[in-house]
Amino acid sequence: TEVIMQETEKLSVIGELAAGIAHEIRNPLTSLKGFVQLLRNNMSQYQHYFEIMEAELNRINYIVSELLVLSKPQVLHFKKRNVAEIMDSVIFLLKTQAILKSVEIIAQFPNNLPELECEENQIKQVFINLLKNAIEASPYGGQIFIQASLLGSDAVRIRFIDQGSGIPEEQIARLGEPFYTTKEKGTGLGLMVSNKIVQDHQGSLKISSRLNVGTTVEVILPISPKERRN
Ligand code: ADP
Ligand code: MG
């Protein structure tokens, strides 16, 4: 089964509303975090409660920042960046999570890959979301291949290939819907946000999956996208 993710415009009505709300949540959240930290330093007997409070605040913060990516308008400033370096930093970030499942990450980047004009932090976010999904889907001891290649002369293709259980046909249509998740602790925002970022870079995101074989997520990014206001 294969699905090319749709234009975010068609999908993101709820997402945009959520982004607006997320914006409003940001400020009180920051102030709460500050006071929790302050109290934690003065009430050491309640250390454990404070840890839980901070972890929960971090989770809300994470969800809010994912939602904010969807908010418009956003002005993008593309700069030339080395994709392999961005990927290395992402692999480093998720290494402990992979080690916990004995998952091996094999990145294959050709030497001749040109620099990509992009918003580095956003592309990093896409790679984090896709690699995280691949790790979460992987069986114990599985392998994940990250393959990059030059597509013609003006685009780069990056594939995340996992050996997970795959995605059933009836679920594949729902991918990228806001808050659609099959995970107990999932947010159901990763694919939607990734798709939005890739679209902002005038690229495309495609998911193909075979049950009990694995899933491949393919991102195609033009080397020199035109900057535009969304
Ligand atoms: P989350 O990871 O928080 O659930 P995502 O938007 O990243 O949200 O993914 C949505 C859903 O898509 C996941 O819950 C999962 O069911 C499915 N999915 C995404 N990537 C993969 C993958 N590599 N293998 C299997 N299922 C996947
Ligand atoms: Mg995810």
164 CB under 6 A from ligand 1?
A: yes
Ligand 1 atom with the shortest distance to the CA of 165 = 25
What ligand has the least distance to the C-alpha of 135? 1
Interatomic CA distance for residues 146 and 112, integer angstroms: 16
Residue-level pLDDT at 213 = 94
CA–CA gap between residue 27 and residue 39 (Å, rounded): 19
Q: What are phi and psi of 216, to 5 degrees?
A: -120, 125
Cis peptide before 73 (omega within 30 of 0): yes
pLDDT surpasses 60 at 31: yes
Q: How far is the CA of 42 from the centre of ligand 2 (A)?
A: 36
Given ligand 1 and candidates 1, 97, 133, which is best to mutate, with the most ligand atoms within 8 Å of its CB?
Answer: 133
Residue nearest to atom 8 of ligand 1 (CA): 188
163-184 pLDDT, tens digit per residue, is 999 999 889 888 878 788 999 8
Question: What is the average pLDDT value for the chain, to the nearest integer?
Answer: 88
123: confidence class by pLDDT, cuts 50, 70, 90: very high
CA of 25 to the centre of ligand 2 (A): 22
Element (H, E) at 210: strand 204-210
Task: Give the model confidence (pLDDT) of 191-228 as tens digits.
Answer: 988 998 999 999 999 999 999 999 999 999 999 998 66
* Residues 112-141: b if buried by 16+ CB within 10 A, e if exposed: ebeebbbbbebbbbbbbbbbbbbbbbbeee
Q: Tell me the average pLDDT across 124-144.
A: 97
Report which ligand 1 atom has the smallest distance to the Cα of 182: 14
In this prediction, residue 9 carries a pLDDT of 57
Whether 1 lines ligand 1, by a CB cut-off of 6 Å, is no
DSSP β-bridge partners for residue 3:
207
For ligand 1, whether the C-beta of 133 sits within 6 Å is yes
Q: Are strands 143-151 and 104-108 parallel, antiparallel or unpaired?
A: parallel
Residue pair 209/5 in contact by the 8 Å Cβ criterion: no
- pLDDT of the residue at 19: 73
* Cα of 40 from ligand 1 centre, angstroms: 35
Q: What six digits make up the tokens of 184? A: 């107990």
Average pLDDT over residues 118-140: 95
Residues bordering ligand 2, an ion, CB closer than 5 Å: 133, 190
pTM (predicted TM-score): 0.86
- The average pLDDT across 148-175 equals 94
d(CA 90, CA 128): 6
pLDDT band at 230; cut points 50, 70, 90: very low
